[in-house]
Amino acid sequence: MLVLSRKKGESIIIQDQIEVTVLSVEGDTVRIGISAPKHIDIFRQEVYASIQEANRESATPLVSNIEAFMERLRNTDIKKD
């Protein structure tokens, strides 16, 4: 992990396309602004983790769905014979 110190109004640039600017610092809260091309998705970490979990769940077939699919295949094979 790269660790940088920045003051209010200072920025960092990531690969010529993304600029991260410190907008304010109030106690333990740091407000940042991010300028990036529209095709780049930007999420808070907790939102990104939730999206990833939802994607994993939707990609994992339920056993009941697999069993129902296998039953339909068996029934289709029987009807063809």
In terms of Cα–Cα distance, which of 33, 38, 8 is closest to 20? 33
Place of tokens 């333990």: 28
pLDDT category, 60, cuts 50, 70, 90?
A: confident
* Cβ–Cβ under 8 Å, residues 32 and 23: yes
Span 8-30, mean pLDDT? 96
pTM of the model: 0.64
Distant-in-sequence, close-in-space partners of 22: CB < 8 Å, separation ≥ 6: 6, 7, 8, 9, 10, 11, 30, 31, 32
Place of tokens 């660790």: 3
Name the residue ranges covered by the structural domains of the chain. Answer: 1-40, 43-81
Span 6-23, mean pLDDT? 97
